[in-house]
Amino acid sequence: MGKQSKSKAKRKTSAWFQRHANDTYVKRAQAEGKRSRAAFKLTEMLEHHTLLTKRDGVVVDLGCAPGSWLQEIHRLYPEALLIGIDLLPMQQVAGATFIQADFTSDEALAMLEDALHGRPVDLILSDMAPEMSGHKLVDQSRIIGLNELALDFAVNHLQSGGNMLLKSFMGEGFDAFRGELAGWFATVKVVKPAASRKSSSELFLLALGFSGSR
């Protein structure tokens, strides 16, 4: 067998960039001044579901960088109190408070609580995902762990009747976590927006009508 000119990793990276550059939603995001194609995942769900019932509601965006979801919420609900948190740096979004911290740490939770000024949250968004190791079981365990942390935050801060939208992956632990969500919310739906790549295993859990108690 002849020697390949590129390593598998380089070929994969090159193919990813080519696919990314030709992506319809990437082109739309660039043309419309959005920070990433992820904006269209949120706008599609906002079109089909009432996620925020109060124009001056409180929205917390977990894993918010690069800020496309915060941009969309501010555009549609300019009076809302928006708080985003991410481990990565992010250019400031108009109308939003950004906390650069690791959501899994106690220090980050304390900063979030300070930013809330005692107000309950109306909508929690989570686009958090682990740094992918390439090991399916490990990555699945990590995303479910992040889902659990987001739910714990919701249980302690979400307004009765509030909603949550969070990224997950189908796999080990997914059904159990969805059942756990159903114990706290009136309705739980599994959705895959058109802007999610068909080749991606990501999907979103839409939890509506937080009960506030079991």
Which entry of 167, 189, 192, 198 is annotated as an active-site residue?
A: 167
Question: Whole-prediction pTM value?
Answer: 0.84
Query: How many domains, the chain?
Result: 2
Same domain, 69 and 173: yes
Whether 167 sits among the annotated catalytic residues: the reply is yes
Residues 26 and 52 in one domain: no
Give the tens place of pLDDT for each residue, 118-161. 999 999 999 998 888 878 889 999 999 999 999 999 999 999 99
Q: What is the mean pLDDT of the chain?
A: 86
My answer on whether 21 and 5 are in the same domain is yes
3-class secondary structure, 99: strand
93 vs 28, residue with greater confidence: 93
Range of the domain at 163: 36-210
| Residues 35-46, mean pLDDT to the nearest whole number | 83
Could you tell me if 34 and 71 are in contact, meaning their C-beta atoms sit under 8 angstroms apart? yes
Are residue 26 and residue 74 in the same domain, yes or no? Answer: no
**Distance separating alpha carbons of residues 7 and 11, to the nearest angstrom:** 6
Residue 13 sits in the same domain as residue 82: no
Quick one: 91 and 162 in the same domain?
yes
How do residues 178-213 score in pLDDT, each as one tens digit? Answer: 999 999 999 999 999 877 767 678 899 999 999 986
